[in-house]
Structure 1
Amino acid sequence: MTYDLVIDSGHGEVEIALLKDQVLTELHSEKGSEKFSVGDLYLGRVKKVVPSLNAAFVEVGYEKDAFLHYLDLGPMYRTFNSFTQKAQKGKLNTHLLENFPEENEIEKEGKITDVISSGDNILVQVAKEPISNKGPRLSCEITLAGRYIVLVPFSNKISISQKIRDSQERDRLRRLMQSIRPDNFGVIIRTVAQKKKVAELDADLRDLVARWKKTFENLRNAKAPMRVLGEINKTSAILRDLLNADFNSIQVNDDALYDQIKSYIKKKAPEKESIVKHYKGSLPIFEQFGVHKQIKAAFGKKIMLKSGAYLIIEHTEAMHVIDVNSGNRSSSENQEQNALETNMESAEEIARVIRLRDMGGIICVDFIDMMESAHQKKLFDKLIECMKPDKAKHHILPPSKFGVVEITRQRVRPEIEINTSESCPTCNGTGEIQPSVLFAEDIETTLAYLMQEYKPSKIRLRVHPYIEAYLKRNLFKFQRKWFSMYKLWIKIIPDTTLPFLVYKFENAKGEVLD
């Protein structure tokens, strides 16, 4: 299994495609001025406390006030808020927490009115980006993510990824982290920390403590609403979370971004520095590596499978609905077996598409009906297995008696939506088509002007292939006509990149004549 990262930078936006064995599995988009990303820290101002929701609305600079629920304050909120207030007033000289006095934890079933009041300045972290007409979702349980560990201020707990199953390795990591972590800072040890040396883990920890120090320093001069600490850019975040020994290449088409990624890899994983490649090909980078083709195939309403079966995906305000159809799949004589095979293939594609589109909320999948309960369980287990690589929190219910599987998936960012339809090449979406006879006259009028204006020694016409066929019909009728008029043979070149009714005249150097 290999991973390739293809990064397209241009027009103020960076698009990142993750390919797993050459199959597109993740697509991310990052705009240069993007704010309110998951992980960003803001000094916000409480605008309104709503007891009926046990929540507050906080001004962080977004057009809609952000939402903060009581349960997202965290048990150590009083201590955390005390640190924020003292840091703002300049009453603290250090970002370290070892001697900072702890206050009582807030009650688990308490009321937000007992803790927060309108007008309070509070330090918050973006837990969910703005989606649709909703503002960001906030949390006061601050976490700073690194390559190997996650730093949790105002905690002394050491947690270890459940994917690290070796008990000896878990004990080693726990003892190691207990010896190097600062007091009153908890840590979550990530899966990639397995077998790593103390120097690597210590360096990662120091970087995170330095980020906390920067937060502390920025707080001292901050005026709400204001971003106090931004998450690292999405490209670096993806590399931080995904980079492993299976990475085959990282292709990037921008000079500055190439240098930035090269520097990041050299610092975090120097043994992988050689996989960073600077793409300089003539084709667009997504075209070269087959990303555009896969985007077109995966983001439409209808998604075809290799066997001939297909999926229909509909997005409503309340949920996503996916319908599985056998299509023209070459079926076996046993209908039940055919349904099982189609459903199993569909489960793999559905798991990929959900992750690729970053679909969230309620997802209902209508699989092909199967009568045998053993087959339904096999399908359910298959879907769970395929969804395992998905880092977003999700829950899958067994098939109902109607064969419908319900999935809930955490939504932290807006769903990726790509319009895969294209404008009509004939009318460019206007609904009006210029008659071919008039179009030919337009070409001839332009040619007469160019011959008089430029008097070129060589000229050629570039048109859509359909227009080329029209102009060359009847034994090169138009070319012979133009030769008799201008004593110059005009070559007609078909060009599939041109819209149906667009043409270009070029000189001997390939320069377009206007």
Structure 2
Amino acid sequence: MNRIIVNALGREKRWARLRDGIMESLHVYQPEKESIVGNIYLGRVDKVEKGLNAAFINIGEDKNGFLHIDDLAEYVSLEEPERNSAEISKLLHQGQKLLVQVKKDPAGTKGPRLTGVIELKGASIVYMPQGRYVAVSKKASDEEQKKKWRRFGSKMKEDKEGILFRTASLQKSKEEITTEFLALRKQYQSLYASSLNRKAPFLLHGQDVMADDILEEVKKIKEVEIITDDFVWKEELQVYLQQHGVSLSSPISHFQGHENIFNHYRVETQIEKAMQRVVWLENGATIVIEPTEALTVIDVNTGKFTGKSGLSQTVLKTNKMAAKEISRQLKIRNLSGIILIDFIEMKSEQQQAEVIAALKAGLSEDGKRTTIVGFTELGILQLTRKKTKPPLLEYTTCSCPSCSGQGRVLSAESMAYRLERELYELYPADEDKVVIEATEDVQRAFRGESSHYLKEMESTIHKKIEFQHVKENKPYYKIKRLENR
């Protein structure tokens, strides 16, 4: 049985997919690290750089966005001869307002990467008001079917518009596609009309990243039950899924227990295990996961397992079991980039092929592109997995100050969000005051700007929150006591 458990209460949002109680995927969203990819802004040109053939656009975020001429709608609309001589300084000027969409999140000193070629995603198609082309999903293998949809798209769209037929569109009728296309066109026209009365910079359309991710997960699995602890978000998600053509076998459930929803469904303990470097298999063998800056190394050891059959079969059985678990850990921990797996040595290519098949089966429902390169001469399996977000450990922890950065500890933000969840569980208690010991960084993360979130939490749980400062060499808190004022 598939279940999606959504912890939407509090600032840090989380959801996990469970299969028969075992966590198959995990997603965490912290507000200060939230992606803005897909957001549509009314931006203002801050500076035009002739040398870069690009412009820096003020979209109201901490850093100006970078817009290259190749991503400018006016440039895309030019014919080929005109493009060769086009200069961004002739297409844009300082102070000009324009619609832009975020292609890539800011990183380090760089601001977000922008495009003026807006994309609006529907359940079956992607609509581009200035796209000027028609394309069909690469996952479609039938060339005749591709040609049919290209012809249909070319007839349906206006000259400047663009359409990408997603994989789901191949199972839809032309009438259904037309209805969706017209709805997306109307959505863009509404956004554009709204921008005319706005002062730049202004966020016109924000992506609900968590809802998008859940939508993609639901599409991959046939039967799923969704349970969340936030009633308002439950209603919003129900509408969002319906708008994108997803009908669930049962309505989304609202969890009303006082215990944190992840504790109730035993997700929290599985997350704690996912933060450790050693994973134990049922037969006593172990997997050791070592992420580094350049790549991730995974080592499989027999441990206590010897088996009752011959050594060769024992090795194969352990490696296949490890391959299945590794595929799960890649998704839970969000490991990506170059990954090297040192399985227990196998003597035959047939056994190696069986292990690769077990790994592929475990990754069959993974939404990220994974390429299995194969075994090296030293017997190490090489693969790559597309990176879209930092690994779980990097996202939720920081370098340990006690061991010169060699270890990891939960960041002040993660500790503050954990404290929030514990405070929600205290809501039924009769006492009207809670005393908490915490380091300064955890207090700062918890309070929010101008202590806004502290006041909001006090109002929610009907309790006065009093912090007592403690000195520790890492982020720390402890709920000391409940009392009456």
3-state DSSP of counterpart to 1:151 = strand
3-state DSSP of counterpart to 1:328 = coil
* Deviations 1:83-126 (CA, angstroms, capped at 9, x unpaired): 9xxxxxxxxxxxxxxxx77565757xx99999999969675433
- Would the aligned equivalents of 1:253 and 1:279 in 2 still touch at CA under 8 Å? yes
Aligned to 1:81: 74
* Deviations 1:416-437 (CA, angstroms, capped at 9, x unpaired): 23469xxxxxxxx9xxxxxxxx
Report matched runs for 1:105-120 at 5 Å.
106=83
Aligned to 1:331: 307
* Residue 349 of structure 1, CA deviation: 2.0
Aligned to 1:468: none
Aligned to 1:370: 346
Q: Calculate the TM-score normalised by the size of structure 1.
A: 0.65
Residue from 269, 284, 287 that aligns with 1:311: 287
Aligned to 2:180: 204
Change (3 A) 1:9 1:406: same
Aligned to 1:16: 15
Aligned to 2:267: 291
3-state DSSP of counterpart to 1:247 = coil
* Deviations 1:18-67 (CA, angstroms, capped at 9, x unpaired): 2345432222233567754221234365768697x998876655445656
* Residue 295 of structure 1, CA deviation: 1.5
* Deviations 1:62-81 (CA, angstroms, capped at 9, x unpaired): 4456566x6xx65xx46x13
Change (3 A) 1:218 1:329: farther
The letter of the residue matching 2:3 is D
* Residue 396 of structure 1, CA deviation: 2.6
- Would the aligned equivalents of 1:348 and 1:383 in 2 still touch at CA under 8 Å? yes
Aligned alpha-carbon RMSD (Å): 4.2
3-state DSSP of counterpart to 1:243 = helix
Aligned to 1:352: 328
Aligned to 1:216: 192
3-state DSSP of counterpart to 1:365 = strand
3-state DSSP of counterpart to 1:12 = coil
3-state DSSP of counterpart to 2:248 = helix
Structure 1 spans left out of the alignment, 5+ residues:
84-99, 421-428, 430-500, 505-510
Change (3 A) 1:362 1:502: closer
Tell me which moved more, 279-288 or 250-259: 279-288
Aligned to 2:356: 380
The letter of the residue matching 2:218 is L
Report matched runs for 1:474-489 at 5 Å.
none
- Would the aligned equivalents of 1:147 and 1:241 in 2 still touch at CA under 8 Å? no
Change (3 A) 1:228 1:280: closer
Tell me which moved more, 167-176 or 381-390: 167-176
Change (3 A) 1:200 1:303: farther
Distance 1:229 1:513 in 2: 45
Change (3 A) 1:271 1:50: same
Tell me which moved more, 235-244 or 167-176: 167-176
Distance 1:106 1:316 in 2: 43
Q: Calculate the TM-score normalised by the size of structure 2.
A: 0.68
* Deviations 1:335-372 (CA, angstroms, capped at 9, x unpaired): 33332222222222222222222223222222222232
Distance 2:48 2:336 in 1: 28
* Residue 326 of structure 1, CA deviation: 2.0
3-state DSSP of counterpart to 2:331 = helix
Distance 1:296 1:131 in 2: 28
Distance 1:33 1:502 in 2: 24
Aligned to 1:401: 377
* Residue 312 of structure 1, CA deviation: 1.5
Aligned to 2:36: 37
Distance 1:392 1:49 in 2: 35
* Deviations 1:182-227 (CA, angstroms, capped at 9, x unpaired): 4433322223334334454334323322343244335546666554
Distance 2:352 2:89 in 1: 50
Report matched runs for 1:79-228 at 5 Å.
80-81=73-74, 102=79, 104=81, 106=83, 124-131=100-107, 135-139=111-115, 142-164=118-140, 173=149, 177-217=153-193, 219-220=195-196, 226-228=202-204
* Residue 251 of structure 1, CA deviation: 0.6
* Residue 512 of structure 1, CA deviation: 6.2
- Would the aligned equivalents of 1:159 and 1:189 in 2 still touch at CA under 8 Å? yes
3-state DSSP of counterpart to 1:287 = helix
